[in-house]
Amino acid sequence: MSETQVKIDAKLVKELREKSGAPMGDCLKALQEAKGDMEDAFVVLRKRGMASAAKKASRTTNEGAVGTYIHAGGKIGVLLELNCESDFVARTEDFQELLRDVAMHIAAVDPRFVSREDVTEADLEREKDVYRAQAAASGKPANIVEKMLEGKLAKFYEEFCLLDQPFIKESTQTIAQLIATKVAKLGENISVRRFARFKVGAPDWTVAQTKAATEEASA
């Protein structure tokens, strides 16, 4: 039986739709490609979403919305600007849901940067110096030390860069992949521009924005 002839139970299509947020037709095709395996179908949708997002990444996002998330008890608050291409998309339920989810994630995980491209040279060099010293102390050869450094930096990005972090509600996908699923569904480029996170009693707070936003502000 060919891929397109695989019969898929409507309940599976609905379940994948609820899990991924993708259109029903895309869910059916993904399940057919995955021969009915839910997890494999979810991976197929994620890959397609990332491919779609990559194609639209160069498109300007001058519209969008500012959203907030206040943690239970009012101890932690987040202010987030999420951009898209049109005001119509910014007002859709899917976009607003994404705005709330990303703001909630920031409140819970406390990232320091939007993406790895936004990590300052000073911060990056400081981390590299620490990791090199740790690796060198292990007595490993230089080529192994550099590989260890790459691994350490990958963990650093995952811990502190919003787009690299596993989504708090679905750890099998990153925030970048979460956004990509909405890009694929809504047909517009979507990007995080900036955010601020405040915690009652904390000596400092987190304010992060993309390099593009920083350059615009200083122009």
- What distance in Å separates the CA atoms of residue 111 and residue 83, rounded to the nearest whole number? 19
- What distance in Å separates the CA atoms of residue 170 and residue 157, rounded to the nearest whole number? 18
pLDDT in tens, 66-84: 999 999 789 999 999 999 9
Q: What are phi and psi of 159, to 5 degrees?
A: -80, -35
Single out the residue of 96, 22, 89 nearest to residue 61, CA to CA: 89
pLDDT at 4: 46
Q: What is the dihedral of CA 153, 155, 160, 163, to 10 degrees?
A: 100
Pairing of strands 170-174, 191-199: unpaired
pLDDT at 140: 73
Query: For tokens 């919305």, what's the residue?
Result: 65
pLDDT at 213: 75
pTM of the model as a whole: 0.74
Tell me which residues of the chain have a pLDDT lower than 50.
1-4
pLDDT at 1: 39
pLDDT at 178: 93
pLDDT at 212: 78
pLDDT at 21: 64
Q: Count CA atoms closer than 13 A to 95's CA, side-chain side.
A: 26
pLDDT at 5: 54
